[in-house]
Amino acid sequence: MLVGMRNKALLLLGCLLFALVIASCVGPSEAGIDATVEARVEEALEVTCDQFLGYKHFTWNVQVQLGDSLLVTLCSNPTTGFQWSESAQISDESILEQMDHSFTPPEEGAPGAAGKEEWPLKALKKGTSTVLLEYSRPWEGGEKGEWSLTATIVVD
């Protein structure tokens, strides 16, 4: 009886390993390249480089309170030639205002390491506005919108 259970366990383990191998072979066209996140954000919204490697385009649905500030922080590595738009594309600037834009280099100081770009936003009045940020190579013929973040922000 123990031999039968052992064989079943080995068969199950083999099936799981096979499924993992198949899943790792799925290319971006077959795997999801978009991620949608719903969140009540208190102060910050952040997407890391590792998250962008899994998904190229993030869509966030966020709720904030009137008068709140929201800090959008995105992975950025200018050594690759890519950069985020300095100004966020805000659909209704009477609802949301971009206060600033800054780049923070990597803490390690290692050549080629990624840093972070930040956009503080201020909720000016109740309503809904969409924020779009795209990571592109800015020169003519450079890749456009390689990564993106679209945040629909509801101000209560």
Other beta carbons less than 10 A from residue 149's beta carbon = 21
Q: Do residues 25 and 36 share a domain?
A: no
DSSP string, 100-147: --EEE--SS--TT--EEEEEEEEE-SSEEEEEEEEEE--STTS---SE
Higher pLDDT: 41 or 101? It is 101
The structure tokens listed for 75 are 């992975």
Query: Same domain, yes or no, for 72 and 142?
Result: yes
> Residue 40 is part of a domain; what is its CATH number?
2.60.40.2020
Left if phi > 0, otherwise alpha if psi is -120 to 50, otherwise beta: which for 66? beta
Q: Is the pLDDT of residue 16 over 50?
A: no
Q: Are residues 41 and 25 in the same domain?
A: no
Tens digits of residue pLDDT in 66-88: 999 999 999 999 889 999 999 99
Report the half-sphere exposure of 108 (CA within 13 A, side-chain side).
6
Q: For position 28, what pLDDT does the model report? A: 35
Domain that holds residue 125: 32-155
Does 24 lie in the same domain as 83? no
Report the mean per-residue pLDDT for the chain: 80
Q: Give residue-wise pLDDT tens across range 20-70.
A: 333 333 333 334 477 776 655 667 899 999 999 989 999 999 999 999 999
Distance CA 90, CA 133 (A): 9
Task: Say yes or no: 47 and 16 in one domain.
Answer: no
Judge if 136 and 87 occupy the same domain. Answer: yes
Integer angstrom CA distances of residue 122 from 3, 80, 151 = 65, 30, 14
- Whether 26 and 36 map to the same domain: the answer is no
To the question of pTM greater than 0.85 for the whole model, the response is no
Residues 86 and 132 in one domain: yes
pLDDT-derived band at 124 (thresholds 50, 70, 90) equals very high
Per-residue confidence (pLDDT) for residue 35, from 0 to 100? 75
The per-residue pLDDT for 19 is 34
Q: Within this chain, do residues 135 and 90 fall inside the same structural domain, yes or no? A: yes
Q: What is the pLDDT of residue 13?
A: 38
HEC profile of 34-60 = EEEEEEECCCEEEECHHHHHHCCEEEE
Q: Is residue 134 located within the same domain as residue 63? A: yes
Place of tokens 């080629």: 112
